[in-house]
Amino acid sequence: MILLGKYRYMYYPGCTLKGWAKDLETSTLKVCEILGIDLIELDRWYCCGGVFELSDNLMRHLGAVRSLIKAEEKSKEIGTGDLVTICSMCYNVLGRISFQLKKEDIEKINFFMDDEKDYSGKIRVKHFLEVLKEYGFNKIRNYVDEQMGIKVAPYYGCTLLRPEEIGIDDSQKPRIMEELLEAIGMDPVSFPMQTVCCGSYNSARGIKAVETLRKKILESAKREGAELIVTSCPLCKYNLKEAMYFTELMEMALGGARHG
């Protein structure tokens, strides 16, 4: 058994956080270090698939299920069944696998995997925002020494909130990011388009609608007086072009640089 603190979680980074969204991981880990939260990366994990496939092709779920199996193994070692992701997309896929996949589909996948370990469905997939809420936004307040008061618009997009079964907050009127922003000395600004889709992977196909959505979302935030827009999703950030990760802002607010 590894000796860990009170706040310990298994951690699934996902491919993007090891690649072009490295800033999302480094800022999160920095924030965790300051707050005393242990994120323990799984020894083995696989691409979640990037999107939750609605087709009946169960092969598409293998990477996610396999990662959850690795988490079940790891959970015995560190004594928690909580698996944390930061990327909204990975959260959505892993969450839906763990909460929505039908029993007979899990049985089929286990039978396909055959001589490997079965997935028994014991993992609770959590988004990092939920971890921070559990930790206590009031407690986070103690780590902030300067009220920056920047007008920050939290952009949720789809994957944190929909479908409802895995939504980390109310799918129409979420508050979780506003509450966090307020705790770290910002001036949160809710805006009408904050739960609208950014266009998702359509940007990879060069579809114009993504640009239209980008403009609408940014204008909607600006109209409410926002100076800055934050997200937890690398794909949303890519599509919006003018957003930053909420964890980067947290690192600044918690004096990440001072904490070495």
Partner 1 sequence: MGKTVRIYVMGREYEVPEGLTIMKALEYVGYRYIRGAGCRAGFCGACTTVYRKNGDYKLYSGLACQTTVEDGMYLVQIPFVPAEKPKYEVSEIKDVEDILRVYPEIARCLSCNTCTKSCPQGLETMDVIQSILRGDIKRAAELSFDCIQCGICSMRCPAEITHYHVAQLVRRVYGKHYLKKSKELERRIKEIEEGKYQEEIERLMKLPREELERLYKEIRR
Q: In the complex, what is the shortest distance from the CB of residue 19 to partner 1, in angstroms, rounded to a whole number?
A: 5
Q: Of the two residues 66 and 214, which places its CB atom closer to partner 1 in the complex?
A: 66
Which residues are registered as beta bridge partners of 188?
Answer: 152
Q: In the complex, what is the shortest distance from the CB of residue 92 to partner 1, in angstroms, rounded to a whole number?
A: 18
Long-range contacts of 73-77 (CB under 8 A, 24+ apart): 73/117, 74/10, 74/40, 74/42, 74/43, 75/10, 75/122, 75/123, 77/1, 77/2
Q: Of the two residues 59 and 209, which places its CB atom closer to partner 1 in the complex?
A: 59
Distance of CA 116 to the CA centre of its chain: 29
Q: Of the two residues 47 and 207, which places its CB atom closer to partner 1 in the complex?
A: 47
Measured CA to CA in angstroms, residue 71 lies from 2, 34, 158, 231, 255 at distances of 15, 25, 25, 26, 32
Q: Of the two residues 8 and 66, which places its CB atom closer to partner 1 in the complex?
A: 66
CB 87 within 8 A of CB 21: yes
Q: In the complex, what is the shortest distance from the CB of residue 57 to partner 1, in angstroms, rounded to a whole number?
A: 9
Query: What residues line the site for partner 1 (CB under 8 A)?
Result: 15, 18-19, 44, 46-47, 49, 59-60, 62-63, 66, 112-113, 116
Q: Of the two residues 57 and 138, which places its CB atom closer to partner 1 in the complex?
A: 57
